[in-house]
A and B are shown apart, each in its own frame.
Chain A
């Protein structure tokens, strides 16, 4: 079966750095996405990785290792508004998005 694992919840301090991990086992791989979802709202696109390595975009970076079936989202200089759920999703061989359950990130002052 297809499976995406990410921690259920993480807590971090404002101004700090946090890394949210995602491991996956899917039938085929056509890229991995990270989305941010605030409570009661739809997900918003953060990043897309299809090749191994680190993609940096402002305070957010995303890393992918296809051989390990592993990705992480790195958030720097945390702000209170970063409190949200972060969803990892993999585009499988049928170009369908397989979603992780999401990681709820709590930022404390």
Chain B
């Protein structure tokens, strides 16, 4: 069974731009969560989608948004990028709302 895939793997953007990251969960998994990981803050929860509905949201500004499609694929969008948004963005999928499996991540660098 294929694992969680994320695209792109690496991305360089300029301050003020926006970015869209994509995540394809493990086949059959309906829950997709997004995390931001930085050396200083560790792994922080962004939001979780289950069957196309946002179930939970972390403490991030409204510039961070996401959505989930009917095939469970998910996208997250960050608008008006700031230097502090440079991070590893991880997507995790689960069959139910536990036992998450992480994708390889997207390394975003904002210059």
Q: Do A and B come from one complex?
A: no
A interface residue numbers (CB < 8 A to B): none
